[in-house]
Amino acid sequence: MSNLTQSPAWRALQDHARTWSGRTLLDLFAQDVDRAASLSASGAGLFLDYSKQRVDARTLELLLAFAEQQQLQGWIARMFSGALVNDTEQRAALHVALRAPRAAQIFVGGTDVVPRVHGVLDRMSSFADAVRSGFWTGETGARITDIVNIGIGGSDLGPRMVCEALAPAASGPRAHFVANVDGAQIAATLRGLKPASTLFVVASKVFTTQETLANAHTARHWLVSHLGEGAVERHFVAVSTNLAEVRKFGIAPANMFEFWDWVGGRYSLWSAIGLPIMLAYGPALFRELLAGAHAMDQHFSHAPPAQNLPVLLGLLGVWNSNFLATGSQVIAPYAQRLERFVGWVQQLEMESNGKAIDREGMPVDYATTPVLWGDVGTNAQHAFFQMLHQGPITHAVDFILPVTVDHEYPDQHRLLIANCLAQSAALMRGKDAGAVRAELQAQGLSGDELDKAIPHRVFRGNRPSNTLLLPRLDAYHLGALLALYEHRTFVQSVLWNINAFDQWGVELGKQLAQSVLRAIDDPASVDLDGSTRALLARLRP
Ligand code: F6P
């Protein structure tokens, strides 16, 4: 048994969870007419309704006591102050510094990092303005019409998701993203582009990532074969922490935009990794995104825990998965432009908190991150919502909905709102056998036929969800939403006593990929297991 599961706050929550069997959300709403108002909170322009969570005043009291036991406030303060919260790598995790205003001061190892952050932001802005205005041209003097971001994981998911989410604001070159080492992706991308008007952004924190370098070399070869070696300087820029590797690839330091080891890959879209956003949408929009995230940072560090959105979301997530045994966390944005938000959250939360060793190096005896998955509503309703409504396992859902829209068909937004609210209500209310019987009898069913039909139409209900409202899907509120999920991830890591900021779990696969690659050419040189060897034999041309 770990210290955590033996701790007073954990055990109190466990005891309290037992009192929840048989209690329904519908009863709670009937008993408390103010439930929706009291179980809601707002911050940085976002509004959270968590009244459809299986919590009452006592649950919240115990959850807040748990947060206190885990010294959450101290951890938040430490993260914001630049302490080495990533202790397996002896690094700070200072994504909050990337969106701090110019006047702020945040120290890492005695150096104020804010001037550096703004120095890079200013360089990015000048470069983006030059490209967007046509002052920076390609080798032949042609204007840049297309940019291709080559990166993977955090060096792809964040900027790609933001570019899609803010698509109506597009005002510069078209942004394309290549991540997969499957050559099909870069082939399809290059097919539609002209070398003379294409700019490549090679984005990699370490600049040794196999997939990114393979795609970058392919792109370089494509460019050089059309325009010659001398064109690389006008058509390639790098975003990285590793100047030596950038140089080795053949990109000059003047064409590199720097970030730092205290920026985790999945927390990096606010850094120079956001360059494609700036190039396609302009520096002003990027700064709005940062401002929204900063507003959420302020809320996170100052709002009392009971009204603090990231703290509440973190506590509710732990309550659901560790004490009420929900199966997974579904993310359902009711906003088509947030389609890629799910993928970004998956990396954020599962790469951060998919760990089984605690901060003391001991194995955990409790669940850490749930599986996160989802899709946009209303599409998801016609795909996997059947399971959410009637499957044997209860899953928690986050519904995310913009209040207003700015597209040409605002009438359809009424349908979107209706569907979103109807789904969370249906998950909560369910439909009992009595109601089903009455409905079917009214349709004329009776006897055996009626009895057989009833169980298939019953919904157990009582399934928990959050509803998160954004005034509109603009850069500011998107920034706030993303920062909210970043901080929820951190809150949960503190509650689970794990380090959210390393990712040793991706290393083994990377190492083995190198061995298998060697074995493709020279099978005898590598000691492979029987299955891998047999598969390789089938795959060899
Ligand atoms: O998948 C592991 C990982 O290290 C992620 O954390 C990171 O976002 C991704 O690879 C890409 O890394 P880099 O930006 O260094 O190429």
pLDDT in tens, 51-60: 999 999 999 9
pLDDT of 177 over the 80 cut: yes
Q: What pLDDT digit, counting tens, does each position of 236-255 carry?
A: 999 999 999 999 999 999 99
pLDDT tens-place string over residues 203-212: 999 999 999 9
Ligand 1, atom 6: nearest CA belongs to which residue?
265
Q: How far, in Å, is the centroid of ligand 1 from the Cα of 496?
A: 24
Which is the closest atom of ligand 1 to the Cα of 351? 6
Pairing of strands 107-108, 465-472: unpaired
CB 513 less than 6 A from any atom of ligand 1: no
Confidence tier at 295 by pLDDT (50, 70, 90): very high
Q: What's the rounded Cα separation, in Å, for the pair 184 and 191?
A: 10
Q: What is the dihedral of CA 530, 532, 536, 539, to 10 degrees?
A: 120
314 in ligand 1 pocket by Cβ < 6 Å? no
Average pLDDT over residues 311-336: 98
Cα 458 from chain centroid (whole Å): 34
Instruction: Measure the CA–CA gap between 310 and 346, rounded to whole angstroms.
Output: 17
Report pLDDT digits (tens) over 333-367: 999 999 999 999 999 999 999 999 999 999 999 99
The strand ranges marked E within 242-304 are 256-258
346 lines ligand 1 (CB under 6 A): no
Binding site membership of 240 for ligand 1 (Cβ less than 6 Å): no
Task: Report the CATH number of the 95-287 domain.
Answer: 3.40.50.10490
Worst-scoring range by mean pLDDT, 191-200, 275-284, 504-513? Answer: 504-513
Q: And the tokens for 527?
A: 């000691």
- The secondary structure element, H or E, covering residue 147 is strand 146-150
Q: What is the pLDDT of residue 79?
A: 98
Q: Can you tell me the distance from the alpha carbon of 98 to that of 105, in angstroms, rounded to the nearest whole number?
A: 12
**Three-state DSSP class for residue 529:** coil
CA dist 2 → 10, 69, 474, 502 (Å): 11, 15, 44, 22
22 Cβ partners below 8 Å, 6+ apart? none
β 396-404/371-374 pair status: unpaired
Ligand 1 contact via 425 beta carbon (within 6 Å): no
Q: Which atom of ligand 1 is nearest to the CA of 209?
A: 16
- What burial letters (b/e) apply to 39-66, b meaning 16+ CB within 10 Å? bbbebbbbbbbbbbbbbbeebbebbbeb
Q: How many whole angstroms from 155 Cα to the centroid of ligand 1? A: 7
Is residue 541 scored above 80 in pLDDT?
no
The residues spanned by each domain of the chain are: 8-69+303-429+463-502, 95-287, 506-539
- Least confident segment among 97-101, 147-151, 174-178, 406-410: 406-410
Confirm whether 8-69+303-429+463-502 and 95-287 share one CATH topology: yes
Give pLDDT, residue 523: 85
Reported confidence tier of residue 2, pLDDT bands at 50, 70, 90: confident
Binding site membership of 463 for ligand 1 (Cβ less than 6 Å): no
- In angstroms, what is the span from residue 183 Cα to ligand 1's centroid? 19
Task: For tokens 């964040």, name the residue.
Answer: 158
Choosing from 152, 208, 350 the residue with most ligand 1 atoms within 8 A of its CB, the one to mutate for a pocket test is 152
* CA 163 remoteness from chain centre: 14
Q: Are 5 and 66 in contact, with CB atoms under 8 Å apart?
A: no
Tokens of 427: 């998950």
8-69+303-429+463-502: CATH topology? Rossmann fold (3.40.50)
Average pLDDT over residues 4-14: 98
Instruction: Please give the pLDDT value at position 521.
Output: 87
Residue 43 C-beta-side C-alpha neighbours within 13 Å: 31
Find the mean pLDDT for residues 59-66: 98
> How far from 445 is each of 217, 431, 449, 452, 460, CA to CA, in Å?
68, 18, 7, 10, 22
Atom 8 of ligand 1, residue of closest alpha carbon: 154
Token readout for 267 is: 């927390």
Nearest atom within ligand 1 for CA of residue 157: 8
Active site residues: 351, 382, 510
pLDDT band at 540 (very low <50, low <70, confident <90, very high): confident
Mean pLDDT of the chain, nearest integer: 97
Report whether pLDDT(116) > 80. Answer: yes
CA end-to-end span of the chain:
52
Q: Which of 265, 153, 209 has the alpha carbon at shortest distance from 514?
A: 209
Strand residue runs (E) in 172-298: 174-178, 198-203, 236-240, 256-258
Ligand 1 centroid, distance to 133 Cα (angstroms): 32
Q: What is the pTM of this model?
A: 0.97
pLDDT in the model for residue 524: 87
Q: Is 204 near ligand 1, meaning CB less than 6 Å away?
A: yes
Burial of 70 (0-12, 13-18, 19+ CB in 10 A): buried
CB–CB of 368/327 below 8 Å? no
Rounded CA-CA distance 177/172 in Å is 15
Q: Which atom of ligand 1 is nearest to the CA of 206?
A: 15
Tokens 């004329």, residue located? 444
Q: d(Cα 472, Cα 485) in Å, to the nearest integer?
A: 17
pLDDT at 354: 98
**Structure confidence by residue, pLDDT tens digits, 300-316:** 999 999 999 999 999 99
CB 7 within 8 A of CB 1: no
